[in-house]
Each structure stands twice: as C-alpha cells, then as structure tokens.
Structure 1
C-alpha cells in the first residue's frame, strides 16, 4: 500500500482508505457487527490507515464500531469523521450544536482529540457566512480537534471553503463519471496544499461494471430510497446519473478495462493518477471488496491515451446526464 502526504499535515495516509458509511447499517443494507469488524480488520491487514466516517452513519453506529475496533488495534490509524447533518440540518448551526457534536464523536470513538472533523455537506449559505469555521478554529485551539475540513457537494462550495484559514481538507465526489474538479478545482487546491479526499469513487457500485438494469436493492439502501434524490442530494447516489443510464454507460466502459485490472481497480487507479488526491475512500459491504480495492494502490498508472479516452467519454456521453449540485 502506497502512502501520500495529507495536505500540509506532515502525515502520510494510505492512498486507498476505507469509507465507513456502510458500517452504519442504515443506508447500504444490513451489516452486522461481526462483518463490520471483519471489514475493518481486512482494511488494516491490507495497509489501509485512513478511515472516514460520520456521526449520522447509523446514528453513531459507525463511529462506535470504529472506536471499539481501535481499542484492540496496534496500528496508528487516522480517523476522519463529520458533523452537520442530523439535528443540525438545515438551520440549527451554532457554536453549541457544533461543540456538542464533536463531544459526542469523541466519546463514541474513544479519543481525546479528533484527527479530522469535516463539515458534512452543510448548506452553502452556512459555508458562505463563515461562522462555522470560526467555531472550528476555536475548538482546534482548545485541543478538541487536530484539524478540520469540509465534505461538499459542488465545486462552488469547495472554492468557498478553500478560502478559509486553517482548512486542512476537502472531501469531494470525483470519479470517471464526475470529472469537473480536474480543471475547476484541482489547480487551486494545489496552490493551497489542501488534502483531497475522494468519495463515491465507484459511483455507488456502477463503476464495478457488475450492475444490471433490473438490479434490486433492500429498502434500507440509499440506492433504493434516494435514487432520484428523494432524501438527500441525488449526486450521492450513482453520482447523480439516472440508474438505467448509469448501467448503460458503465457497460460501455468495460472495453477499456486493462487485462490486469478489474473495472473497480481501473476506476480507482484513474482517480489515484491525479496527484492532487490524498486518499480515495471506497466503501465495502464485504471484506473481499476491501482487499480488491486496496490492490489499486500498487497498480501502474493508466496511460495518457487512456486518460484522454476517459475525458472524451465523459464530455460526449456522461455530462449531459448528471443531476444535482455539481
């Protein structure tokens, strides 16, 4: 597993991390505690040292599982969590609610100071007002958090955050189906030396190349209940593509897959070829998925010709279908 510097922190993190949304058990179907611990153990065994979670994943369940797991883990693990959804959404943002959320995450994770707290796709108007960053700076000075960042829905929101003092990271949706950040965000991020965390690298599973149009999902899977943005931003589900169209586009990409890679690994490798990316955080509902995804770290870069093909494919076939904030 290769490692990269996390922005200007001086800390090296695995370039393939683990997204822990699935461990909450409320948006990706059921995952029991035993399988959750197996997923976490497999991640550590494969050299992953970066875990991304949030206070709302399973209403705290994901953080609790990680906290319990870390008690018996001898490796040094960087845990990123988030606040700002749940009871704060959409207009209950103040220093008290932010402080309470951080205290609750500290307790669930069993630590005295958070490695990284991220604003969790909070309203753009709250980001632009800027008070929330003042509160985070205060909590940083108090030693409650080591650093803070923001998980955002759009390039516009990312650029607002990028102007904030002491911002450590930005978490964005970025994959073969969502290429806008390459030209509109990445050059500015490099100048600021801010870490980039990439979520939804496989577009909710579309970029595994295994989904069919008649695919069924359990009722507690966001790919069932948020397919058209009924509960939160549609971009968080299938990268904002209508499901049937997404399946068709993914099938077209199968011919691009190198012989030595799976389609998932190709999609992850494409992301890692952008050196501005600090870590990519595919989730997993099975331990085997963690192992397969981790292998992308050691694969060779895709050719410049391949990158050009993906760029053309995105412009000609994908961009017109994207819905939601972007």
Structure 2
C-alpha cells in the first residue's frame, strides 16, 4: 500500500481506503457486526489506515464498529465520520451551530474516543456552504480538541468550491470516477492550490464500473439502486453516479474493450489514483474478498496518455451529456 498526504491535515492516508456504507449491511440490509469486523480487519491487514463512516450508516453501528478497531491502534488508524444526515427534516435551516456540536458530542459518545480525526458535514443543502456562523463554530470545536480536522462531503462541484473558502475545511469528499469527471475541470486545481485533501467517493458508480452489472439485474427493495434511480429518496447522483443504467452499460462495454471483462473495477479505481490531487479513494465492500481486490488496484501501473484519452473519449461520447452540468 502506498500513502498520500491528506491535504494540509498532515495525515498520511492509504491510497485505497474503506468506505463503510455497505459494511455489515450490504446495500441496506440488517447490520451484521461479525461481517463488518471481518471486512474492517481485512482492510487493516492490507494496509488501509483511513476508515470512513457516518452516524447514519446502520444507525451508528458502523461508526461503533470502526471506532472499536481504531481504539486498538490509535496512532496508526484514522476514523473519518460524517454528521448532519440525521436531521429531520434535512434542511439548510436545521444545520445550526448547536446541532452540529451536539452531533460531534454524540459521535464521541458513540465511539468512545477522546477525539475524532476527521468530521465531515454530510452532504448538506447548498445554502449551508455560505453559513459563516456555522463554520465559525466548527473552528471553535476544532480548537477545543474534540475534532482534529473538519471537512465536507458534497454533492456538487459548486459546493466544494464554496466550502473551500473556509479555513476550517481541510478536506472535500466528492463523487469522482470515470463517469463523474467534472471535478477535474472545475475544482481540482483550486483545491490543490489551497492544499485541501480530496477524498474520492462512489468510485465504482454504485457497482456500475465493476463491469459485472447487467440490464436485467434485480435489486432488493431496500437497495438504493432500486428505489433512488431518479432521486426519490436522496440526490440522484448518489445512485450510479446519476448515470442512466442503459447509458452506463453501453459505456462500460466500451471500457471493457480497453481493460477486459474481469477486472474493470481495478482499472476504474486506478484511474482515480492517476490524479495526484486525490488523497484517497474510499470504495465500499460487503465481503473481505472485495477489500483485497480493491486494494490490489493501487499496485496497477499508472495510466499512460493514450489510456487517459480513451477513457475521456468514452466519457464524452456516452456520459457527459447526462451528468456533467448537474453535479
């Protein structure tokens, strides 16, 4: 495993890390602590030191599972959690300074940790990124020692740019993959200049870039790939990265001519690492074997110029019109 600096935080993070939306619960199933522990343990054994979670993942159970491992090796393992999505209703007005501090305190209590390495606002509505009072409170919380670093998880490039104006924001978590390339054009250079760490999420476009998806695939009723195709429950861009399934499958077929049928997912992950602005990629996993496969992507050689151009051409031909201006 290779490690990169997480912006100006001073933290070194594994190039391939672990996102825990799926850990122990599949794509929305009942939480299985034994399965979660096996996945996290496997990740750590293969060099992963950055574990991304959130208080809404499996009703805080994912957060607790991650924290229990972090406690065992506090100097080497990093916990990154997210707050805000438990607000009901999830509106900009609900993102008050007091509410965010309560969420931080709740996360500390839930994890049993003395401090949190990274806390990220969890895809708040766009107006939140202009709330000076809120970000001033985050600065105060950081100064208290409860949280070492703050960041944001965003839906849109414009939100990343707005958040970057606040000194307290040291990381941006954003959807970035072969099918979501707008960040390259619109915000990577600014984030690099400000030394803000970039965490690439949804790297396989909800499994679309695994190369194993088919048009007749059926999803469980509690799987967002079934109920959120058009943004019925949350932002449409979270599901298949906002790409219509039929369009995405056509693009995947083209990508397979470049990278083969069996290991497209590894090349999809390695493509992201080709960009030095990215500090870490956080694919999920529902089995230990997936963790191992994901980690192996980091050992692939960097893409050459022809490969990069070929991926861009496929994006421009099949994907750009559906997603580029939306996020």
Structure 1 stretches lacking a partner, 5+ long: none
**Contact between 1:27 and 1:221, CA under 8 Å: does it hold in 2?**
yes
SS for the counterpart of 2:276 is: coil
- 1:283 is aligned to 284
Stretches of structure 2 lacking an aligned partner (at least 5 in a row)? none
1:190-229 equivalences in 2 (<5 Å): 190-229=192-231
Residues in 1 aligned to 2:101 and 2:27: alpha-carbon distance in whole angstroms: 26
In the TM superposition, what is the alpha-carbon distance from 1:245 to its structure 2 partner?
A: 2.2
Flag the 1:156–1:74 CA change in 2: closer, same or farther, 3 A.
Answer: closer
TM-score (norm 2): 0.95
Distance 1:17 1:162 in 2: 23
SS at match of 1:58: coil
Instruction: Name the counterpart of 1:8.
Output: 8
1:52-71 equivalent positions in 2, closer than 5 A: 52-71=52-71
Residue 129 of structure 1 corresponds to which residue in structure 2? 131
**Are residue 156 (structure 1) and residue 158 (structure 2) matched?**
yes
Contact 2:182 2:324 in 1 (8 A): no
**Counterparts of 1:214 and 1:265 in 2: how far apart (Å)?**
24
Query: After superposition, where does 1:1-326 map in structure 2 within 5 Å?
Result: 1-23=1-23, 25=25, 27-73=27-73, 76-87=76-87, 89-90=90-91, 91-257=93-259, 262-322=263-323, 325-326=326-327
Q: Size of the alignment, in residue pairs?
A: 325
TM-score (norm 1): 0.95
- Are residues 74 and 140 of structure 1, via their aligned partners in 2, closer, same or farther at CA, if it must alter by over 3 Å? closer
Deviation at 1:44?
0.4
3-state SS of paired residue (1:13): strand
The answer (yes or no) to whether the contact 2:171–2:199 under 8 Å persists in 1 is yes
Deviation at 1:58, TM superposition (A): 1.3
Structure 1 position 296, deviation (Å): 1.3
Measure the CA separation in 1 of the matches of 2:221 and 2:260: 35
Deviates more, 1:211-220 or 1:83-92: 83-92
| C-alpha distance after superposition, 1:3-40 (max 9, x if no partner) | 00111122211010000011263844345111111100
Paired with 2:25 and 2:325, the residues of 1 have a C-alpha distance of 25
- Report the Cα offset of residue 302 of structure 1: 1.0
Counterpart Cα distance in 2 of 1:176 and 1:323: 12
Relative to structure 1, is the Cα distance of residues 274 and 33 closer, same or farther in structure 2, using a 3 angstrom cutoff? same
